[in-house]
């Protein structure tokens, strides 16, 4: 079982509903966000191409944050989600330094926080908060090892990319381009 997310960049409108849903669902402190929207503009008017992406922790297979954590607070659970155990975290910041995607931040309570793929919802069979509120339904989440899951079906016939594959992290958020 390997959870992954696929995002259709041609359908994302950059509304930031996913950002707000995540903050609400996960009690993210004001001023912090676990996911964000990026806009990549190529060229200039009238030959412009814009790509909108919603980004978050990529729950990498070869997660540098898990490798660098001195206490094991940063760990990978069944299904591949990368999680942080708050009372094992000493707040050293090594994981923050090692994430190429800048997905982590230091929670005001001291431990390190980030997107959890809404693990608390997924184990109950629900979708992550961001996926469930997206108005254009451009986000797909599921088990990559299951050919019938939403995410596998979404990726089957489309070209897709991952972010910074050269960083060697083996990320599991795929952007359909």
Q: Which residues bind another protein (CB under 8 A)?
A: 14, 16, 19, 31-33, 36-44, 64, 67-73, 86-94, 96-102, 104-106, 109-111, 163-164, 166-168
Taking the least distance from each CB to another protein, the nearer of 4 and 60 is 60
| Smallest separation, CB 86 to another protein (Å) | 8
Rounded to 5°, angle at Cα 53 from 61 and 110: 60
Q: At its nearest, how many Å lie between another protein and the CB of residue 67? A: 5
Contact 38, 23 (CB under 8 A): no
In the complex, least distance from residue 159 CB atom to another protein, rounded to whole angstroms: 18
> Do the Cβ atoms of 124 and 135 come closer than 8 Å?
no
Per the structure block, which two tokens stand in for 34?
Answer: 């676990």
CB of 123 to another protein, least distance (A): 25
Residue with Cβ nearer another protein (79 or 100): 100
Among residues 123 and 164, whose Cβ is nearest to another protein? 164
CA distance 25 to 86: 18
**Residue 1 · residue 142 · CB < 8 Å:** no
In whole angstroms, what is the distance from residue 61 CA to residue 18 CA? 24
Of 109 and 146, nearer to another protein (C-beta) is 109
């Amino acid at each position: 079982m390997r959870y992954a997310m696929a995002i259709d960049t041609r359908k994302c409108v950059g509304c930031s509903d996913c950002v707000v849903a995540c903050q609400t669902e996960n009690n993210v402190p004001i001023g912090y966000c676990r996911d964000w929207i990026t806009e990549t503009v190529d060229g200039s008017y009238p030959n412009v191409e814009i790509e909108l992406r919603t980004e978050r922790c990529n729950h990498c297979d070869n997660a540098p944050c898990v490798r660098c954590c001195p206490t094991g607070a940063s760990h990978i659970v069944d299904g591949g989600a990368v999680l942080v155990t708050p009372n094992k975290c000493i707040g050293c910041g090594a994981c923050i330094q090692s994430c190429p995607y800048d997905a982590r931040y230091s929670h005001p309570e001291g431990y390190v926080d980030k997107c959890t793929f809404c693990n608390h919802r997924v184990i109950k069979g629900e979708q992550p908060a961001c996926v469930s509120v997206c108005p254009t339904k451009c986000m797909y989440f599921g088990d990559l090892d299951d050919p019938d899951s939403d995410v596998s079906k979404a990726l089957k016939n489309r070209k897709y990319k991952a972010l910074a594959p050269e960083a060697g992290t083996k990320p599991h958020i795929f952007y359909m381009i």
